């Protein structure tokens, strides 16, 4: 995926990884989704999601960045910032 | 991923790349008709990332919950006492254990409850009826992650390590299961620099001391040892320790290292259950020496000091010798004439390996799976005890397809890496080493019949189809001339007449329309094998309606692929187009071409005469010939028939 990934593209990438992590192929996800709303999206699956995203998009989060993400939209904001810095 | 020039254990490069339909195959495994345990072990044999491992682990758990038998995988219940986040390990551990023949169940204690779990007789770990308990803690758990410069560092370390002794003793009395201890990797964070080695209270020196004590403790308490320090060292400690993942998630080591760590746990648990492989089977040409002995002769082989490739092959031989000395049985499996294959061991002065080092010596032209079965049978061990080292990707694929139990490491192009791949793969993981281990090799060698075991070839139809071969035919031309000359002047084994021609003579043939020339190239899904076959036909003296086959030669690399049948079909097609009604072939015996004595017979020619000295003459009527159906695509560059057809 290129650094100019759109929000819908990133949402789809996040959905695919999370669907895999929580083992729910038909997982529905929106930018407003939060961990509380998704069954099995616990702290360890959050780690798997973040590491999965790093591997998929080939960047690394810093330790501060991954704290306090309030919903999927906030994660997309962060990923877009990371990808923009890289170019 | 490409491993052309370098490799890291972190990528498990000795394993095959994961197939595209891996996840689908994982999902299907439970409902499939094949033996589930075997199917799981097969899927675990790929180069799995953590994401793949999750799919496999899910499949394994689903099969287990569904009450399905996982045999021949051996069940093993592993307790996990971790000093930091261990949840990321669980799926990878299951997958890696399956790779090593184990149906693993992991009972993981809650985060950082190591001591509490051990001391409480009713704890999860102590009541779980485990086969072993992995104590996964590092220097931070032992609190030797900071230098001790103001007091006796050795005493400080010894005091910390007392905890571990207590822990093991508590587990022994409360659970009964043996412990698996881990050594401690040293973080790449020097204080004084090189001088850290000389300061007993530096973190480096304290961890060194701790590792020495851990080794002794394993010995004293009958515990197993997982040398995590060695794994981290092989990976590189700057890659092993990830400060961000430690700070953010309390991962004791980088998530990237989970697959290789898990593979080592799998090896160890496999070794505990007796799954360690017992026999290293070596291919010969371009695996333990450079070159093809049948064509290049003993003196033409590259092996030994003073040459980069020669050194690489010596390193392979040295590894085999070292394995043998610790009790691994050696065998040969090579497509060669037996006499030619044995000659380098007897005659080449630089060879480390000698014939007496091998318990079984299979050199013949029959397929490798049949020969590997013969080796296992001769040694009275299972196919799952064999490792095959072979430079040829197609042979590796053939063996994997026919005998998935045999371990077959991938190898890169550069032989300098062969010994590295073989040893990094960990096929011969041990939990003990005794005098009997060393003696065993001798007894095998004494018992085994040293001559080749007779084997029957198997039906290779499916395998050949899976190679996706593409064969292409063309008359001799300027572009191919150099290579044609090389083949004509170098090929000794698959060469029915061994007639040599210079480039100038080839040019004359190109220009002479009464001579039929054929150059054959072959490619398969593993790559382009280049030019592998040559045929030259001339009008037969005294019969203008017949061709005499002046030359027919092939590279031994393509034996057993029915290439000769395709070449005959093409030759007869061209003969027909030119009004030729009969082909006559001659076999002229030499010291090296016994393998083609019956070449024409196998292709359906009739034996006409046999002369003194073994020369035979054969012929076939074009009208009586019908082309066989072969699993390969044809490409034709004969000007008249620029036709390409698929069979």
Phi, psi of B329 (to 5 degrees): -80, 140
Inspect the interface and report whether the beta carbons of A61 and B248 lie closer than 8 Å: yes
Nearest-angstrom CA–CA distance, B492 and B592: 6
Give me the pLDDT at residue A2, please: 52
User: Considering only alpha carbons, which residue of chain A is nearest residue B23?
Assistant: A20
Residues 78-117 of B with CB under 8 A from A: 85, 87-88
Q: Which residues of A fall within a CB distance of 8 Å from B251?
A: 47
CB-based contact, B51 to chain A, within 8 Å: yes
Could you please report the per-residue DSSP string of B206-233? HHHHHHHHHHHHHHHHT-EEE-HHHHHH
- Please tell me the least confidently modeled range out of B84-98, B319-333, B464-478: B464-478
* Yes or no, beta carbons of B87 and A67 under 8 Å apart: no
Average pLDDT, stretch B434-456?
62
Q: What is the pTM of this model?
A: 0.84
Q: Does B57 touch chain A (CB under 8 A)?
A: no
Answer whether B181's CB lies under 8 Å from B224's CB: yes
State the pLDDT confidence band at B558, using cuts at 50, 70 and 90.
confident
Cβ–Cβ of B249/A60 closer than 8 Å? no
Q: With an 8 Å Cβ cutoff, are B244 and A60 in contact?
A: yes
Average pLDDT score over residue span B430-442: 79
A62 to chain B nearest CA, in Å?
6
Nearest CA in chain A to B55: A20
Taking a contact as any Cβ pair under 8 Å apart, which residues of chain B between 59 and 78 contact chain A?
none
For chain B, what percent of residues have pLDDT higher than 70? 95
Find all residues with CB under 8 Å of B39, minimum gap 6, and list them.
Answer: B29, B32
Residue ranges of domains in chain B, CATH in brackets: 74-272 (3.40.50.1110), 279-458 (3.40.50.1000), 466-636 (3.40.630.30)
Tokens at B407, concatenated = 């371990």
Class of domain A7-86: mainly alpha
With CB atoms and an 8 Å threshold, state whether A51 touches B244.
Answer: no
- How confident is the model over A14-69, as pLDDT tens digits? 999 999 999 999 999 999 999 999 999 999 999 999 999 999 999 999 999 998 89
In this prediction, residue B32 has a pLDDT band, given cuts at 50, 70 and 90, of: confident
Using one digit for the tens of pLDDT, what is the confidence trace for B565-619? 999 999 999 999 999 999 999 999 988 888 899 999 999 999 999 988 889 999 9
Supply the pLDDT for residue A3: 52
Q: What is the mean pLDDT of residues B225-243?
A: 97
pLDDT in the model for residue B6:
77
**Closest by alpha carbon to B88, among A38, A43, A57, A60?**
A43
Structure-model confidence comparison of residues B117 and B486, the more confident one: B117
Q: Could you report how far apart the first and last alpha carbons of chain A are, in Å?
A: 13
pLDDT of residue B175: 94
Measure in Å the smallest separation between the Cα of B96 and chain A Cα atoms: 19
DSSP for residue B270: H
The whole-number pLDDT of residue B112 equals: 84
Whether ipTM > 0.90 holds is: yes
- The alpha-carbon gap from A42 to the nearest alpha carbon of chain B, in Å, equals 12
**Residue B187 pLDDT > 70:** yes
- pLDDT, residue B450, reads 46
Residue B645 confidence (pLDDT): 40
Q: What is the DSSP letter of B592?
A: S
Residue contact B249–A23, C-beta within 8 A: no
Count the Cβ atoms, other than its own, within 10 Å of residue B19: 11
């Amino acid at each position: 995926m290129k650094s100019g990934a759109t929000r819908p593209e990133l949402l789809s990438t996040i959905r695919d990884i999370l669907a895999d992590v929580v083992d729910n192929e038909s997982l529905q996800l929106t930018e407003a989704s939060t961990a509380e709303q998704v069954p099995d999206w616990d702290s360890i699956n959050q780690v798997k999601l973040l590491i999965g995203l790093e591997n998929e998009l080939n960047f690394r989060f810093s330790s501060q960045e991954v704290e306090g993400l309030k919903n999927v939209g906030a994660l997309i904001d962060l990923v877009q910032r990371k990808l923009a810095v890289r170019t | 991923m490409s491993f052309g020039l370098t490799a890291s254990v972190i990528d498990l490069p000795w394993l095959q790349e994961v197939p595209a339909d891996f996840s689908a195959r994982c999902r299907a495994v439970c409902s499939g008709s094949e033996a589930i345990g075997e199917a799981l072990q097969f899927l675990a044999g790929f180069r799995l990332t953590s994401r793949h491992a999750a799919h496999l682990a899910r499949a394994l758990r689903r099969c287990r919950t569904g009450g399905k038998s996982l045999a021949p995988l051996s069940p093993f219940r592993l307790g996990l006492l971790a000093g930091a986040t261990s949840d990321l390990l669980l799926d990878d551990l299951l997958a890696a254990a399956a790779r090593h023949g184990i149906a693993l169940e992991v009972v993981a204690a809650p985060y950082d409850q190591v001591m509490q779990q051990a001391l409480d007789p009713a704890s999860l770990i102590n009541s779980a009826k485990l086969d072993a308990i992995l104590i996964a803690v590092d220097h931070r758990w032992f609190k030797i992650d900071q230098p001790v410069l103001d007091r006796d560092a050795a005493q400080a370390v010894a005091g910390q390590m007392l905890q571990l002794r207590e822990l093991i003793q508590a587990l022994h009395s409360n659970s009964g299961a043996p412990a698996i201890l881990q050594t401690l990797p040293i973080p790449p964070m020097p204080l004084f620099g090189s001088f850290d080695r000389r300061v007993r209270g530096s973190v480096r020196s304290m961890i060194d001391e701790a590792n020495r004590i851990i080794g002794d403790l394993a010995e004293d308490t009958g515990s197993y040892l997982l040398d995590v320090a060695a794994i981290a060292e092989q990976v590189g400690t700057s890659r092993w320790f990830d400060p961000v993942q430690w700070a953010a998630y309390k991962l004791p080591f980088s998530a990237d290292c989970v697959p290789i760590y898990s593979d080592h746990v799998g090896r160890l648990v496999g070794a505990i259950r007796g799954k360690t492989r017992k026999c290293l089977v070596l291919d010969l040409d371009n695996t333990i020496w450079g070159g093809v002995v049948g064509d290049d002769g003993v003196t033409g082989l590259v092996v030994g000091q003073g040459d980069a490739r020669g050194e690489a092959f010596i390193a392979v031989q040295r590894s085999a010798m070292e394995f043998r000395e610790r009790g691994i049985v050696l065998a040969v499996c090579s497509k060669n004439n037996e006499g030619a294959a044995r000659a380098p061991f007897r005659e080449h002065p630089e060879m480390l390996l000698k014939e007496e080092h091998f318990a079984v010596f299979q050199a013949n032209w029959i397929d490798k799976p049949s020969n590997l079965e013969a080796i296992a049978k001769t040694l009275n061990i299972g196919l799952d005890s064999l490792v095959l080292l072979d430079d040829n990707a197609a042979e590796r694929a053939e063996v994997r397809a026919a005998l998935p139990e045999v371990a077959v490491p991938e190898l890169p192009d550069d032989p300098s890496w062969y010994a590295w791949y073989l040893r990094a793969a960990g096929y011969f993981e041990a939990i003990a080493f005794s005098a009997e281990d060393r003696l065993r090799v001798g007894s095998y060698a004494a018992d085994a019949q040293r001559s080749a075991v007779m084997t029957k070839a198997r039906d290779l139809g499916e395998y050949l189809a899976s190679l996706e071969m593409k064969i292409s035919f063309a008359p001799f031309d300027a572009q191919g001339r150099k290579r044609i000359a090389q083949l004509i002047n170098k090929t000794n084994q698959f060469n029915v007449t061994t007639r040599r021609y210079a480039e100038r003579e080839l040019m004359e043939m190109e220009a002479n329309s009464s001579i039929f020339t054929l150059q054959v190239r072959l490619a398969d899904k593993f790559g382009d094998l280049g030019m592998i076959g040559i045929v030259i036909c001339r009008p037969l003296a005294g019969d203008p309606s017949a061709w005499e086959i002046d030359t027919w030669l092939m590279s031994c690399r393509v034996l057993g692929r029915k290439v000769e049948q395709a070449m005959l079909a093409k030759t007869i097609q061209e003969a027909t187009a030119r009004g030729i009604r009969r082909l006559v072939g001659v076999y002229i015996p030499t010291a090296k071409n016994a393998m083609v004595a019956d070449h024409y017979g196998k292709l359906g020619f009739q034996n006409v005469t046999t002369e003194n000295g073994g020369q035979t003459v054969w012929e076939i009527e074009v009208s009586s010939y019908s082309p066989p159906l072969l699993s390969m695509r044809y490409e034709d560059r004969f000007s008249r028939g620029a036709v390409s057809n698929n069979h």
